């Protein structure tokens, strides 16, 4: 069974309403089976697997995922997740007192923390570009905000390809162009991009581009990559050095100690299942669905429909009567889970309590109708 549009193809609990694909992704049953196959291979002969089979298997994965994101295979290092990928960059990036690292209001907490640690260690300053309240979804305001905060001291800018709390797609080409003109290196946080958009990492040309396969490519958890421009490869140091570190880029950064590498190894299979449906087909279908779903929820809350998104996630501001800060937003999430068995993502986005909706192949318009009915009744 390999039809992504068939709900029964997914490993998900059919009695739960899953409206937050974006945070943790989800796998199909065939992908789960492929991961199990790799686990069985490893567990049948741990010594043979770790000391002989794994390195070649990882090389093959690296080549396959590089082709998927259109990166030079020589640029790619596999990582367990974007949290790790960003930390790899920030553990290595040369910073000195007086330098600046630029992030934005929307930067993901883990990435912000890695940047903040790197600044604290080096004496560099963390600068945060302020973003306007939730509104348009073309990301142009983010490009402008980043550009406005670039200074002669900005050594590294960290910008999302797709933001997490506000679910906005940013033009990475514009970001790279602005930063390059300022002599600033760029790390693009593409946590949500692979599988959501057609990616051409080589053409984007960022110094560093990290992305997850376990979100929108529906690979098992623990599968990501970091693409690194040639001038940085030899400088790259693992945030958590493993015993293979002497091998340098990339193999030396792909051994995370004794760990479960089955998610990485199952990723080519996950990409095949996704490829069978088609990234463009999914994007078009899921974008239309999430826009329709957001319209239903907004109407039930007595709000205007949010301006349409071009991706499969959208963030709506919540009325203050439902949530006003992070605690009340979390309480709402809990209430929705308890009362209608729905999993939603509530957060603070640009100063407002917000609801981020996702759409994946297993979602139907009735899912959003059910949430809308409930929120309308309590709000």
Ligand X SMILES: Cc1ncc(COP(=O)(O)O)c(C=O)c1O
* Pair 350, 132: CB distance under 8 Å: yes
Sequence-ordered strand ranges (E) for the chain: 17-18, 76-79, 100-104, 125-129, 154-160, 185-190, 208-212, 224-228, 313-317, 342-343, 345-349, 352-358
Binding track, positions 186-225, relative to ligand X; x by CB under 6 A: ---x-xx-------------------x-------------
- CB of 110 or CB of 174, closer to ligand X: 110
By the rule CB under 6 A, 18 interacts with ligand X: no
CB of 214 to ligand X, least distance (A): 6
Region class of 139: left (phi > 0), else alpha (psi between -120 and 50), else beta: left
Rounded Cα distance between 221 and 323, Å, is 30
User: In this complex, which beta carbon is closest to ligand X, that of residue 162 or of residue 372?
Assistant: 162
Q: Nearer Cβ to ligand X, position 222 or 293?
A: 222
Shortest Å, Cβ 267 to ligand X: 13
Task: Give the tokens for residue 361.
Answer: 């192949």
Structure tokens at 42: 């490893």
When asked if residue 348 is in the footprint of ligand X (CB under 6 A), the reply is no
> Which among 197, 280, 224, 200 has a CA at the least distance from the CA of 61?
224
Site track for ligand X across 134-153, x = CB under 6 A: --------------------
Candidate segments 79-87, 201-209, 289-297, 344-352, binder of ligand X by CB under 6 A: 79-87
| 105 forms part of the interface with ligand X (CB under 6 A) | no
Question: Which residues have CB under 8 Å from 45's CB, separation 6+?
Answer: none
Cα-based angle 52, 250, 234 (whole degrees, multiple of 5): 140
Q: How far is the CB of 304 from ligand X (least distance, A)?
A: 26
Nearer to ligand X by C-beta: 239 or 301?
239
Tokens matching residue 145: 């905000």
Which one, 34 or 160, has the nearer CB to ligand X? 160
21 binds ligand X (CB under 6 A): no
Minimum distance from residue 191 beta carbon to ligand X (Å): 3
Residue from the set 99, 105, 160, 207 that interacts with ligand X by CB under 6 A: 160
Residue with Cβ nearer ligand X (254 or 300): 254
Partners of residue 78 on adjacent β-strands: 225
Q: Which of 112, 106, 211 is nearest to 166 (CA)?
A: 106
What count of other Cβ atoms lies within 10 Å of the Cβ of residue 87?
A: 24
Q: With residue 30 as reference, give the H or E element that holds it.
A: helix 29-44
Q: Are 144 and 119 in contact (CB under 8 A)?
A: no
Query: What's the closest the beta carbon of residue 221 comes to ligand X, in angstroms?
Result: 8
Site for ligand X contains 112 (CB under 6 A): no
Q: Among 20, 83, 184, 352, which residue sits at the site for ligand X (rule: CB under 6 A)?
A: 83
Contacts with ligand X by CB under 6 A: the residue count is: 13
Contacts to ligand X by CB under 6 A? 23, 81-83, 108, 110-111, 160, 164, 189, 191-192, 212
């Amino acid at each position: 069974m390999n039809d992504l549009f068939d709900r029964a193809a997914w490993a998900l609990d059919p009695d739960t309403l899953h409206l937050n694909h974006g945070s943790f992704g989800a796998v199909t049953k065939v992908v789960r089976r492929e991961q199990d196959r790799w686990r069985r291979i490893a567990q049948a002969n741990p010594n043979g697997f770790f000391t002989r089979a794994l390195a070649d298997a990882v090389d093959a994965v690296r080549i396959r995922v590089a082709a998927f994101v259109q990166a030079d295979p020589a640029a790619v290092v596999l990582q367990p997740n974007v949290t790790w990928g960003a930390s790899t960059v920030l553990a290595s990036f040369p910073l000195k007192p007086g330098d600046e690292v630029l992030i934005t209001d929307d930067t993901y907490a883990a990435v912000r923390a890695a940047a903040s640690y790197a600044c604290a260690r080096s004496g560099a300053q963390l600068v945060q570009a302020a973003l306007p309240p939730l509104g348009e979804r073309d990301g142009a305001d983010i490009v402008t905000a980043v550009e406005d905060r670039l200074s002669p001291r900005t050594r590294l800018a960290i910008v999302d390809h797709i933001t997490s709390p506000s679910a906005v797609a940013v033009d990475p080409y514009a970001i790279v162009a602005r930063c390059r003109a300022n002599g600033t290196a760029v790390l693009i946080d593409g946590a949500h991009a692979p599988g959501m958009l057609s990616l051409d990492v080589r053409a984007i040309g960022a110094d560093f581009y990290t992305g997850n396969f376990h979100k929108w490519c529906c690979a098992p958890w623990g599968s990501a990559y970091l693409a690194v421009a040639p001038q940085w490869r030899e400088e790259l140091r693992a945030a958590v050095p493993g015993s293979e570190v002497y091998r340098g880029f990339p193999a030396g950064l792909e051994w995370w100690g004794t760990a479960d590498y089955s998610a990485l190894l199952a990723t080519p299979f996950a990409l095949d299942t996704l490829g069978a449906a088609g990234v463009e087909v999914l994007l078009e279908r899921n974008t239309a669905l999430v826009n329709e779903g957001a319209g239903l929820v907004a109407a039930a809350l007595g709000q205007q429909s949010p301006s349409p998104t071009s991706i499969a996630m959208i963030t709506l501001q919540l009325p203050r009567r439902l949530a006003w800060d992070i605690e009340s937003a979390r309480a709402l999430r809990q209430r929705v889970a308890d009362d209608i068995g729905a999993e939603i993502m509530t957060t603070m986005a640009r100063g407002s309590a917000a609801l981020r909706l996702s759409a994946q192949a297993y979602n139907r318009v009735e899912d959003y109708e059910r949430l809308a009915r409930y929120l309308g009744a309590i709000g």
